[in-house]
Amino acid sequence: MDLSNENVIHRKEDGCEYLQFRKLLVYKEVINHAYSLGIDKNYRTARVNQEKLDEITYKKAITDYQQLCQALETKVEHIVKTNQKHTGEVKIVKKKIKLTEPDINLEPYNQTDGLITNQKQIMLSTTNADCLLLLFFDPIKKVIANIHSGWRGTLQRIATKTVEKMKKEFQCKPEDIICCICPSIRKCHFEVQREVKDNFVQQFQDIESIDEIIEETIPNQKWHIDTVKINQILLQKEGLLTKNIIDSKICSVCHSELVHSYRVEKEGYGLHTALIELK
């Protein structure tokens, strides 16, 4: 199956599959980026509670990272990875901590779901299996960001916090920033119960179309929520241009034969990674 569309290109190279955004490929001399594909790949480097994996599973993850980096003609040693916890925390990466291996499972990135840098040869990495991953690039200031925004992160407006930090710390202008939305669970399959629905209604009262974004599916029991649309609106409120908010338009549940999905795989689910790097 080929997941290419007007916004993304599905690439297959030497047993490695990944997506790239057409908008970011305009700047391929400046940045590297990819979203991994294939459920035979798993970029999990620690358990959910940050406990270590067994050596075989960890080495498999590092091998998968190496293959993807090789396809991108970069080095796995450039990777700096978040230790995600569904927070609204976004940190700035000023330099690599380890010089000869990737910065993975390191304490400075605990409780962190977003990374920003303006340093070259630092490959920012996040992972998902249904949650939103957002790749940011300011081609004027040469700043990149990579954030993990599950439904909890969306409630905490981590996308908004990322843009605010890019503006404050790097003087980025929102009209210059590009944001690309990786494959994730979409409204068609993101079904929640009343408590989660009520949290979204309360948090996003400032969004006029919130009633259209949240759709009742089973009267007073289940609702579908469009977290992609919410993030698009939040980014627009921060000043990003509509033409610079690029959606992959790929649902992880609808395409679970190629994209990891927690809701499909349940326990033992695998993780994909989104990568972005200034060359």
Return the residue matching tokens 């790949």: 41
d(CA 116, CA 119): 9
Nearest to 147 by CA among 92, 106, 201: 92
The DSSP code for 110 is: B
Compute CA distances 198 → 123, 159, 185, whole Å.
37, 21, 20
Phi, psi angle pair for 48, to nearest 5°: -55, -35
Superfamily holding 8-185+245-278: CNF1/YfiH-like putative cysteine hydrolases (3.60.140.10)
Q: Where are the domains of the chain?
A: 8-185+245-278
Q: Is the pTM of this model over 0.95?
A: yes
Q: What is the mean pLDDT of each run of 10 residues along the chain (279 residues)?
A: 97 93 98 98 86 91 97 97 96 96 96 97 98 98 98 98 98 98 98 97 94 93 97 98 98 98 95 98
d(CA 6, CA 217): 30
32 alpha carbon, distance to own chain's centre = 15
Bridging pattern class, strands 31-37 and 16-21: antiparallel
d(CA 65, CA 169): 30
**Residue 131 tokens, joined:** 């949650």
Question: What contacts 54, CB < 8 A, 6 or more positions away?
Answer: none
